[in-house]
């Protein structure tokens, strides 16, 4: 997933007026000045994205490295519990993605503008809500940018961990250091030459084709000689947070959803019953349940992604490792692109009155690109445990940008109109529940996954190390 949404401009001119305003210092009215204004009718994206391409793009984004870790999630919680957790977390993510787009559309309607970015929409919504939200609202754009940046760093680090582990298995060495040393120059060269988004997208597309071939080979090994492990339930609540953290990492696509909503030729297709969100996320949810359950059924308990459970003596397994090394390496520049854009935009828009020159921004970009690649390798070297790292990133970042923040926005936008909470204050109770889920994962999930990483780090240095689960 590319967890980023570019802010095209910070000033806007409301429909029917000629005086521009700035998203960074304007405030939101309680009701729309023009009830008949629908922001989705005034969007003119260029180039326009057709609906079928939006379905394909979202499905392709969701079936990546996170999917390979789903059998690990099921091995921790059990097959029945894993399936239930995946479906519940998938439903929550689908709902909060709907919630986010509806909130941004409501804010755009009140401002009479075609579109507003997540970062500044979050600010305007919270400043309209309860007083306890106002301190967060003043820092909302920075918070959203920060956790999107951390999310991209986590995604890139997971890609490095997966490719280095697979390369280590191919060259058959005990330490991951040689594999990282081989991959680092390749990743730096790719990041240096892949500066154009169109070029990056073509390279990533070839990686996705290879990724599909690799998944087919994994399914081949699943059904070749399955061990037929069955464990319906693991009655250990922290392990459930581990599983749901991996689901959050794998199933959330805030940046992609926002980009598609902004570029879609028919934006209402995003939130229809059989629209882009429901179908584009529903299929990966079902695939995650099937892949996670079958992966555990075929190979039993595992600590990393399913590739580490393939038979090393089988040539097709080595081919699968090689395919995923190439496909993940090819997709790496696309995952880096949003992170660099976040850094550039935060610096560019941090001061309303002093904008850095294009030359200064170019120097910052030249420094930021290799620095980000090296940072992801440092994380991968120090935390070479894909399963815990995936769950940690999901609990740390996705719990906020995909669950907590949209729920806070919805609660705030309804705050000055109590009747909008519905019968028995349904929407308020639902938003508070979603906020609880987000906070639970952000605190409890991060703590447990951090503890698990610490235990794995200690265990990796012990000659008598045992599996944690």
Question: Could you tell me the domains of the chain?
Answer: 37-460 (1.20.1740)
pLDDT: which is higher, 422 or 91: 91
CB–CB of 147/431 below 8 Å?
A: no
Query: Per-residue DSSP letters for 122-178?
Result: HHHHHHHS-GGGHHHHHTHHHHHHHHHHHHHHHHHHHHHHHHHHHHHHHHT-S-SHH
What integer pLDDT is reported at residue 244 of this predicted model?
Answer: 93
pLDDT at 430 over 70: yes
Helix (H, G, I), strand (E, B) or coil at 20: coil
| Distance between CA atoms of residues 274 and 203, nearest Å | 30
Q: Which of 90-104, 136-150, 281-295, 449-463 has the lowest mean pLDDT?
A: 449-463
First to last CA, the chain: 28
| Distance between CA atoms of residues 388 and 454, nearest Å | 10
| Distance between CA atoms of residues 378 and 160, nearest Å | 10
| Distance between CA atoms of residues 5 and 260, nearest Å | 10
- Average confidence (pLDDT) over 359-364: 85
How many helices (DSSP H) and strands (DSSP E) are in the chain?
18, 2
- Average confidence (pLDDT) over 37-43: 79
pLDDT at 6 over 60: no
Tokens read off for 88: 């519940």
Tens-place pLDDT, residues 58-109: 776 666 677 888 898 898 888 999 999 999 999 999 999 999 999 999 998 8
| Distance between CA atoms of residues 445 and 393, nearest Å | 10
Cis bond upstream, residue 184 (ω within 30):
no
Burial class of residue 459 (count of CB atoms within 10 Å of its CB; 0-12, 13-18, 19+) = middle
Q: 426-440 and 79-111 helices cross at what angle (nearest 10)?
A: 120
What integer pLDDT is reported at residue 1 of this predicted model?
Answer: 43
Q: How many CB atoms lie within 10 A of CB 178?
A: 14
What integer pLDDT is reported at residue 431 of this predicted model?
Answer: 95
What integer pLDDT is reported at residue 352 of this predicted model?
Answer: 62
Write the CA distances from 468 to 134, 229, 243, 459, integer angstroms: 42, 19, 15, 9
- Average confidence (pLDDT) over 270-279: 87
CB–CB of 51/59 below 8 Å?
A: no
pTM of the model: 0.86
């Amino acid at each position: 997933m590319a967890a980023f949404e570019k802010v095209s401009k910070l000033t806007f001119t409301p429909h029917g007026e000629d005086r521009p305003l700035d998203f960074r210092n304007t405030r939101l009215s309680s009701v729309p000045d023009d009830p008949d204004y629908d922001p989705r009718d005034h969007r003119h994206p260029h180039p326009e994205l057709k609906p079928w391409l939006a379905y394909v793009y979202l499905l392709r984004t969701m079936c990546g490295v996170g999917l390979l870790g789903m059998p690990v999630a099921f091995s921790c919680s059990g097959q029945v519990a894993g399936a239930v957790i995946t479906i519940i977390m998938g439903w929550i993510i689908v709902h909060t993605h709907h919630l986010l787009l509806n909130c941004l559309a409501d804010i755009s309607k009140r401002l009479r503008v075609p579109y507003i970015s997540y970062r500044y929409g979050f600010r305007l919504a919270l400043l309209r809500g309860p007083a306890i939200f106002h301190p967060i609202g003043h820092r909302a754009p920075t918070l959203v940018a920060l956790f999107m940046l951390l999310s991209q760093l986590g995604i890139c680090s997971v890609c490095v961990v997966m490719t280095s582990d697979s390369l280590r298995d191919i060259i058959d060495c005990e330490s991951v250091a040689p594999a990282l040393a081989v991959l680092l120059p390749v990743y730096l060269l790719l990041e240096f030459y892949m500066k154009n988004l169109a070029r990056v997208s073509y390279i990533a597309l070839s990686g996705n084709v290879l990724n599909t071939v690799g998944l087919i080979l994994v399914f081949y090994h699943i059904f070749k000689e399955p061990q037929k492990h069955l464990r319906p339930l693991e009655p250990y609540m922290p392990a459930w947070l581990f599983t749901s953290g991996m689901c959050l990492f794998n199933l959330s696509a805030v940046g992609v959803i926002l980009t598609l909503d902004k570029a879609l030729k028919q934006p209402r297709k995003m939130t229809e019953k059989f629209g882009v969100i429901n179908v584009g996320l529903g299929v990966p949810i079902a695939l995650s349940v099937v892949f996670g359950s079958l992966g555990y059924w075929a190979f039993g308990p595992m600590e990393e992604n399913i590739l580490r459970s393939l038979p090393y003596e089988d040539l097709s397994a080595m081919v699968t490792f090689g395919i995923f090394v190439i496909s993940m390496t090819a997709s790496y520049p696309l995952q880096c692109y949003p992170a660099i854009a976040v850094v550039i935009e935060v610096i560019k828009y941090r001061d309303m009155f002093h904008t850095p020159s294009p030359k200064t921004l170019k120097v910052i970009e030249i420094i930021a690109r290799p620095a980000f690649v090296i940072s992801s390798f440092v994380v991968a070297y120090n935390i070479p445990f894909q399963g815990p790292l995936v769950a940690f990133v999901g609990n740390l970042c996705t719990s906020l940008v995909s669950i907590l923040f949209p729920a806070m926005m919805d609660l705030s936008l309804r705050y000055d109109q109590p009747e909008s909470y519905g019968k028995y204050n349904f929407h308020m109770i639902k938003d508070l529940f979603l906020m609880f889920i987000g906070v639970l994962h952000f605190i409890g999930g991060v703590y447990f996954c951090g503890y698990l990483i610490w235990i794995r780090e200690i265990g990796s240095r012990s000659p008598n190390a045992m599996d944690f689960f």
